[in-house]
Chain A
Amino acid sequence: MGAGPQVVGRDDHSNFPPGVKTVRSIGSTSGKLNREGILALEPDLVLAAEIHSAEQIKTLENLDLSVFLLSNPKTFPELFRNVRLVGQLSDHEVEASRLAASLEIRVNTVAEKLRGLPHRPIVFYELDATDVRHPWTVGPGSFMHTLISLAGGENFGASMTQDYPRVSAETVLRRDPDVIVLGDSIFGVTVESVRQRAGWEALSAVKAARVYTFDDDLASRPGPRLVEGLETLARLLHPDRFP
């Protein structure tokens, strides 16, 4: 929305767009906050997210800083609201409004193109498979679950109770999802490595070459790129509808 020049500081994990690298980073926000670093930047406003603990927010407030907590959007309308909010806070209401509107159009376009789907593929979204016999996936409370549904799929983990449950490899083999999306590609997991896992070569998704890598950042950062995540996912699941 054009407020880029107003950003005076960021944390280590804020890495998009690439140009943001020139902005000073105050280090990691897991654990103790770099209070001196933040104060030195003399920000008029600190934008925090739900990933920060109550103690961290309190710390910032104790430093006499204005803190605004942007809650994680659970739906796309909430995302658009957040965009407009940030626009208000940064004094770019008009541009923010335009941005929110264009995002909304993109989301609606996806919904349009997916109208009347004959079949919703079962999607296994893999978050972490360090222990290949018990990979982590997404459950009904996660945003990825919403994304999968909006992208025309059915979440493998929909029947689980936790937001980010662990399943056994056996369960995956037994339920045989149609598509496997590797949210852990940033950790180096490749399509080939999935094929080499003990027992996984028998999966329909592997045999039909429907195992895809996916940039998890597109789904785990609560910002406008979530729309890009939706579009990417929809294209992977229904290539015929997105030529």
Chain B
Amino acid sequence: MKKSKGSMQILGAAIVVATIAVFSAYLIYQNIPVFIKQDAERLAREYIFEMEQEGYLSAENMLSLKKELEDEKCKNVKITATNSKVEYGMHIYLNIEYDTVLKELSMEDGLLPKFKDKTITVPIPNKTISKCTS
């Protein structure tokens, strides 16, 4: 009887320890898409400010932006942008969309929580005015 009580206590303790570890890992995972989005927004910022001066996004720059986004772990990157030079005062845009994987906690099969992947599409819209005078 005493032995069984001890086993229950060990099992209880193991569940508490596992829950703390899983929850801690979950919070660490949650930072990853935040950092990816921060990097993607920083890149979008750099390119739209350059576009303001140039009046468009060249094909070369579009490829280079796509590569930089993929290097930052953005998946299925889609870029649409003003791709031919527009005059001063006309609007220019740079829209980025990419997929990112979120880790979600799921209790579907079993006692302990498990991680489940959920893919979401993140939009980064940017629109401003061309200041290109040349």
Do A and B pair up? The answer is no
Taking Cβ atoms with an 8 Å cutoff, the residues of A that contact B are none
